Amino acid sequence: MYLDHIAATPLHPKALEAMLPYLKENFGNPQSLHSAGQEALSAVEEAREKVASLVNASESEIIFTSSGSESNNFVLKGMALALRDKGKHMVLSAIEHQSILQSAKSLEKLGFQFSSVPVDKYGLVNPEDVKRAITKETVLVSVMLANSEVGTIEPVAEIAKVCHSTNVLFHTDAVAAVGNIPVDIKQLGVDALSLAGDQFYGPKGSAALFLKKGTRLFPFIDGGIQEGGRRAGTENVAGIVGLGKAAEMAKIELENRIQKIKPLRDRLIERFPQKVERLFLTGHPGKRLPHHASFVVEFIEGEGMLLNLDMKGIAVSSGSACTSRALKASHVLLAMGFDHALAQGSIVFSLIEEITPEDIEYLLEVFPPIIERLRKMSPLYTKYLEEKKK
Amino acid sequence: MIYSEKVMEHFQNPRNVGVIPDADGVGEVGNPVCGDMMTFYIKVKDNQLVDIKFQTFGCGAAIAVSSMVSEMAMGKTLEEAEQITNKSVAEKLGGLPKNKLHCSNLGADALHKAIEDYRQKQSAAQKEKAKETTEAAASEEGCCCPYCEGPLEDLESYCTKCQVELEECPECGKLTNKHEEKCAHCGAEIAKQ
């Protein structure tokens, strides 16, 4: 049972089908003038249209990239360089993805400055805080549309308004959101937006950056004329075609997917806190991704839960320090005010379309005994029980 | 799987999990901030570890490490157990992922702390015993202040050390504060003149 949508989704069979010819006979380079090349080019441009349509953009506003992380790097570094004569200050939220936070760190070394906007206990950014953080030097604000670790959906349209009232550009990292909730760049009023195919049944290595017409951006890869000269290199044709097909299917199937997955997700959010004491929902209860249920389980650590669930055939994520390569507690949970010990008990269930009600019942059945077993091993739980007796 | 078979085996079936309420020594290492916490409990008889129990808050590696340490140390003498190193535990487990070598591999440290705790308790107990013997001897002679345990020169009247006036309780016969309403030993009310 796969419950790790936020890590990767399976490839949509139609996306695979669309990709196959471009891995086999249609191997032409889109920049070649012969028929083989032109065939590949039209496939890429068709995909561009489909991706644009998914977020209500025009195709000339879509730049293909290799990942959500690349899109995020691209927009931060590209705008910092393009707008450096205007100002060298940017505003970010405290819970951004590492590809935003680390890009900012690199840019700081080059003399750019960043302000971090806090979040509340649900992980929500207050647009007023963004307003206060903007200075005369500010050129860009970047706040994610949805957080993959806690599922919270940010008030991005309001933040965009704040930015535009002060003539500052606004980017949103929508990697966790696009293809999973309706996303319309015009309604949101964003100038740039990152999205990635592997978050909505497209292939890995295939992502995009929406950039509003007329917005300046320094090239990320210099070379040929691909992607308007801003990202050179022979196109990942099969990947782009797969991304396009996944975008097309998301547009068609999105409402049905949400209707199917959300009640199952709701059952997890309702039942787990009833079944297990000292287990808490993380993120906003209402304003959250429809496939996303995240919790912290007190007194135990996430990796133990993850490994035990894996042995039961259930794949999940955790934001605990032990499960991260850097062995650091989740910056998202800490920013939301969780203490280190509680943040260690992070566990994230993110549903994919294939999940059935039977799967959910099985999970509800096997997870509580796993928690109990790990708690019996935990010195923190023993202390808690002793305190309770008093 | 990120772990060796041996690690997974210990993680799934950890040996010696639990608490020893009347442990002879307790050792605690780590804290939740760094992600791992281990508590070891030991029972010692004739310089031998006759029982070991542990509790661990932490990842799979931390739990497997604790389990392995408890298994390696069981039945060993204290000196032998002190020879167990974090490194030897990791080796016995068929290796640990590089990034887990430091933070999760604290089992031997926790065990050594428990042994240290036992030794400290032992020497404290010996001192206590020595003290008890002298006190016992002193009380037989009836020349000890019940409050500060200092020697009394002038029997049953005044302790120069803690400056309390004393008198004999009419109920139990022991020395108690003259100005208190109840005897410090038997609780009997002392009639004031």
Q: From 3.40.640.10, 3.30.930.10, 3.40.50.12780, 3.30.70.2390, which CATH number describes the A13-250 domain?
A: 3.40.640.10
Domain ranges of chain B: 5-121, 142-193
Residues of A in contact with B19 (CB under 8 A): 382
Contacts of B112 (CB under 8 A, 6+ apart): B27, B81, B82
* Full pLDDT tens readout for chain A, 390 residues: 999 999 999 999 999 999 999 999 999 999 999 999 999 999 999 999 999 999 999 999 999 999 999 999 999 999 999 999 999 999 999 999 999 999 999 999 999 999 999 999 999 999 999 999 999 999 999 999 999 999 999 999 999 999 999 999 999 999 999 999 999 999 999 999 999 999 999 999 999 999 999 999 999 999 999 999 999 999 999 999 999 999 999 999 999 999 999 999 999 999 999 999 999 999 999 999 999 999 999 999 999 999 999 999 999 998 766 666 666 789 999 999 999 889 999 999 999 999 999 999 999 999 999 999 999 999 999 999 999 888
Pairing relationship of beta strands B158-159 and B164-168 according to DSSP bridges: antiparallel
Quickly state the pLDDT bin for B106 (edges 50, 70, 90).
Answer: confident
The confidence score (pLDDT) of residue A265 equals: 98
Does B33 have pLDDT greater than 90? no
Buried b (16+ CB within 10 A) or exposed e, A322-331: bbbeebebbb
Compute and round to an integer the Cα radius of gyration of chain B. 26
Report how many Cβ contacts below 8 Å link chain A to chain B: 73
CA distance A181 to A55: 10
Residues B189, B172 contacting (CB under 8 angstroms)? no
CA angle A188/A6/A344 to nearest 5° reads 110
Could you tell me which residue, A24 or B169, shows the higher pLDDT?
Answer: A24
Beta carbons of A379 and B12 less than 8 Å apart: no
- Cα diameter, chain A: 82
Beta carbons of A300 and B57 less than 8 Å apart: yes
- The yes-or-no answer on residue B34 being catalytic is yes
Residue type, A140: L
Does B46 have pLDDT greater than 80? yes
The confidence score (pLDDT) of residue B155 equals: 52
- ipTM score for this prediction: 0.84
Quickly state the pLDDT bin for B167 (edges 50, 70, 90).
Answer: confident
Q: Mind telling me how many Å the CA of B19 is from chain A's nearest CA?
A: 9
Residues B38, B54 contacting (CB under 8 angstroms)? yes
Q: How much is the average pLDDT of B30-41?
A: 85
Beta carbons of A329 and B11 less than 8 Å apart: no
CA distance A172 to A42: 29
The confidence score (pLDDT) of residue B152 equals: 65
CA distance A247 to A245: 5
What's the half-sphere exposure (Cβ side, CA atoms, 13 Å) at A82? 17
Tokens of A280: 């808490």
Residue by residue, DSSP assigns A288-327 as B-TTEEEEEETTS-HHHHHHHHHHTT-B-B---GGGSTT-
Cross-chain CB nearest to A304 (options B33, B55, B60): B60
Buried b (16+ CB within 10 A) or exposed e, A92-112: bbbbbbebbbebbeebeeeeb
Q: Which residues of A are annotated as catalytic?
A: 322
When the pLDDT of each residue in chain B is averaged and rounded to a whole number, the result is 83
Q: The dihedral of CA A367, A286, A153, A176: what is its sign?
A: positive
Map residue A272 onto helix, strand or coil: helix
Map residue A37 onto helix, strand or coil: helix
CA distance B16 to A83: 62
| Interface residues of chain B, partner chain A, Cβ below 8 Å | 1, 8, 11-12, 14, 17-19, 28, 32-39, 55-63, 99-100, 103-104
The confidence score (pLDDT) of residue B98 equals: 83
Tokens of A32: 């070649």
What phi, psi does B159 have (nearest 5°)?
A: -95, 120
CA distance A231 to A78: 11
The CATH number of the domain covering residues in A254-389: 3.90.1150.10
The confidence score (pLDDT) of residue A47 equals: 98
Q: How much is the average pLDDT of B64-82?
A: 95
What phi, psi does A315 have (nearest 5°)?
A: -100, 120
The confidence score (pLDDT) of residue B153 equals: 58
The CATH number of the domain covering residues in B5-121: 3.90.1010.10
The confidence score (pLDDT) of residue A390 equals: 83
Domain ranges of chain A: 13-250, 254-389
Beta carbons of B63 and A377 less than 8 Å apart: yes
Q: How much is the average pLDDT of B115-136?
A: 84
Does B143 have pLDDT greater than 70? no
Residue by residue, DSSP assigns B66-128 as HHHHHHHHTT-BHHHHHT--HHHHHHHTT---GGGTTTT--HHHHHHHHHHHHHHHHHHHHHH
- Taking the CA atoms of residue A252, residue A254, residue A257 and residue A263 in that order, the dihedral angle to the nearest 10 degrees is -140
Partners of residue A140 on adjacent β-strands? A90, A169
